[in-house]
Amino acid sequence: MPFALDPEVATGLEALSAALTKGPPPTQSGVDAIKVSSGRFIDHAASIAKTAPDVSIQTLSTSSEDSHTVPLYWHTKSGSSPGSAILYLHGGGMVASSAASYRPIVSYLVSHSGVPALSVEFRNAPYSTPLQGLKDAYAGLTYLSSNAADLKIDPERIAVVGDSGGGGLAACLTHLVRERQGPKIAKQVLIYPMLDDRLGLASPDPHIAPFLTVDHNSIDVCWVGVLGSRRGAEDVQPTEAAARIKSAAGLPPMYVDVGDCDIFRGDCLRYVEKFWAEGIPAELHVWNGCYHGFDGVAPEATVTQKAWDARARAIQQV
């Protein structure tokens, strides 16, 4: 039997298509066109995200190692003080969207899990110097750990969470922390993460081609935006594209979820296997009949609620 979309998830595609074509078509090409389409995708998801009236947001800031000011958003749920915390990195292929636009989505996660979250307004690619987005993410982690007492959290109980491009950046952050012996990350929660800069150069999977909400060319454009001419080069490091990992030794336990009709499915499975090979706990969920970004497009679907429940449980275990 061929792949088929979950019926509830499939109903969200019509509204997504309308959102993506809303307004004039992009006149740009390459990364600039991705910024427009990704922005529309995420704006649509944020507009239909479940509300979280019990969550308040405080605007903070810190400085990256190149003295860039990094805005931060601290999301807390009324009456909830679990001691643990989330560092959240937003989706958008590392080239688009913003932590500000993700506030409804992060607020729902905080409401659902009861765990406060610091979302980081990291710089999107293309970068003027390498790894600016990652360095901003590291600055956010350092702020969260250094200000643990004021924020009423335990710096030993921080989970880094990200989706899509933000999931890939979250994975890269764990590699940078291992390299620098930086602030502790107790767990990584990666939601259909963008892991491998070589994906856009590979042949598409014909079995899932009809269900893709993002294609190989778009992914390749994003990676070229991040890495420039080095995209696909042999010397790309796991701090740049996490799938370049040689060993997962020393990395934190992991949770990963992805749809079986998601362009990142194969990369996620291969990444998880690297952790299992080192005896590191790695919880994997593959959601049947789900495309990339299904949870944002169909927030009321039964499978979406199962996904949010699994993510919240993984975070609550920290």
* 283/249 Cα distance (integer angstroms): 16
Rg (CA), the chain: 18
* 251/278 Cα distance (integer angstroms): 10
Average pLDDT, the chain: 95
Pair 177, 106: CB distance under 8 Å? no
Hey, what long-range contacts does 151-157 have (CB within 8 A, 24 or more apart)? 151/74, 151/85, 151/116, 151/118, 152/81, 152/83, 153/83, 153/84, 153/85, 153/116, 154/83, 154/84, 154/85, 155/183, 155/184, 156/184, 156/186, 157/83, 157/84, 157/85, 157/186, 157/318
Q: How do 55-63 and 69-77 pair as beta strands?
A: antiparallel
When pLDDT is cut at 50, 70 and 90, the band that residue 15 belongs to is confident
Q: What pLDDT is attached to residue 222?
A: 96
Tell whether the model's pLDDT for residue 27 goes beyond 80.
Answer: no
Pair 124, 102: CB distance under 8 Å? no
Q: What is the pLDDT of residues 237-288, one digit of tens each?
A: 999 999 999 999 999 999 999 999 999 999 999 999 999 999 999 999 999 9
Tell whether the model's pLDDT for residue 1 goes beyond 90.
Answer: no
H helix intervals, 147-189: 148-151, 165-180
Of 149, 166, 168, residue with least CA distance to 89 = 166
Pair 251, 275: CB distance under 8 Å? yes
B/e letters for 21-48, b = 16+ CB within 10 Å, e = fewer, are eeeeeeeeeebeebbbbbebbbebbbeb
**What's the average model confidence in pLDDT over 52-75?**
98
When pLDDT is cut at 50, 70 and 90, the band that residue 118 belongs to is very high
User: In the chain, pLDDT over 70 holds for what percent of residues?
Assistant: 97
**What's the average model confidence in pLDDT over 119-131?**
95
When pLDDT is cut at 50, 70 and 90, the band that residue 23 belongs to is low
Q: What pLDDT is attached to residue 25?
A: 64
* 287/304 Cα distance (integer angstroms): 9
Residues 6+ apart with CB under 8 A from 67: none
Q: What is the pLDDT of residues 153-200, one digit of tens each?
A: 999 999 999 999 999 999 999 999 999 999 999 999 999 999 999 999
Tell whether the model's pLDDT for residue 29 goes beyond 80.
Answer: no
Tell whether the model's pLDDT for residue 24 goes beyond 80.
Answer: no
* 186/207 Cα distance (integer angstroms): 36
Can you spell out the DSSP letters for 107-125? Answer: HHHHHHH---EEEE-PPPS
Q: What is the pLDDT of residues 177-190, one digit of tens each?
A: 999 999 999 999 99
pTM for the full predicted model:
0.97
